[in-house]
């Protein structure tokens, strides 16, 4: 089987996360600098996926919160500048739906994660470049990755939720 190498197009892709704040609202953040590759056959089944996100590119539209997230209370960006993912399995589960399993490394912890992936299709752009699109979704518990800082509110609730919802819209360029 012939394989192709695809590279994430960062100008047409996004990696976001969502977390509960004060149990009553959801805060959205993103990593604005990331790289990644997919090596796969034409149908992407059994492909190999890897990506890295730069922790210092975290953005929640609040500079003070972003600096706190980069600090030792959370990501320790000075010590652990990258979040990395390497797939162990990428399989079609039906139609355009895939299951992506792999090892996610945040700080000094590597844990297996499973992401739901929807293939959006492939086409050539106006300049003849082959493109493919995917949407990835998943949930992870931040405390599994030593992201344990929290505070208790006056009512006894947690300031920051433990479940992190991941959402990535990825456009790949065949290279």
pLDDT, one tens digit per residue, over 145-171 is 988 756 565 655 556 778 899 999 999
143 has a pLDDT exceeding 70: yes
Of these ranges, 14-28, 30-44, 143-157, the one predicted with the greatest mean pLDDT is 30-44
| C-beta atoms surrounding 156 within 10 Å | 6
Euclidean distance between CA atoms 34 and 138, whole angstroms = 18
What stretch of H or E contains 68? helix 63-70
Tell me 93's DSSP state: E
Number of alpha helices (DSSP H) and beta strands (DSSP E) in the chain: 1, 11
Q: Which domain holds residue 70?
A: 4-174
45 has a pLDDT exceeding 70: yes
| C-beta atoms surrounding 42 within 10 Å | 11
What is the tally of structural domains in the chain? Answer: 1
Tell me 147's DSSP state: -
Percentage of residues in the chain with pLDDT exceeding 90? 75
pLDDT tens digits for range 77-125: 999 999 999 999 999 999 999 999 999 999 999 999 999 999 999 999 9
24 has a pLDDT exceeding 80: no
- Residue 165: its pLDDT value, please? 95
142 has a pLDDT exceeding 90: no
- Residue 9: its pLDDT value, please? 96
- Residue 46: its pLDDT value, please? 86
Residues near 59 by beta carbon (within 8 Å), at least 6 away in sequence = 29, 30, 31, 32, 66
Structure tokens at 108: 């000094």
CATH code of the domain containing 127: 2.40.128.110
Structure tokens at 171: 């456009």
26 has a pLDDT exceeding 90: no
């Amino acid at each position: 089987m012939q394989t192709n190498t695809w590279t994430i197009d960062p100008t047409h892709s996004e990696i976001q996360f969502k977390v509960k704040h004060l149990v009553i609202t959801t805060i959205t953040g993103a990593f604005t600098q990331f790289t990644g590759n997919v090596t796969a056959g034409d149908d992407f089944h059994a492909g190999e996926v890897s990506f890295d996100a730069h922790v210092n590119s975290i953005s929640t539209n609040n500079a003070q919160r972003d600096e706190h997230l980069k600090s030792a209370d959370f990501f320790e960006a000075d010590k652990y500048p990258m979040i990395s993912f390497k797939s162990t399995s990428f399989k079609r589960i039906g139609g355009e739906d895939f299951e992506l399993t792999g090892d996610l490394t945040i700080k000094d912890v590597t844990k297996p994660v499973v992401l739901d992936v929807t293939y959006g299709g492939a086409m050539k752009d106006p300049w003849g470049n082959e493109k493919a699109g995917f949407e990835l979704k998943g949930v992870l518990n931040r405390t599994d990755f030593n992201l344990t800082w929290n505070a208790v509110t006056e009512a006894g609730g947690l300031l920051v939720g433990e479940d992190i919802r991941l959402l990535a819209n990825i456009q790949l360029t065949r290279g």
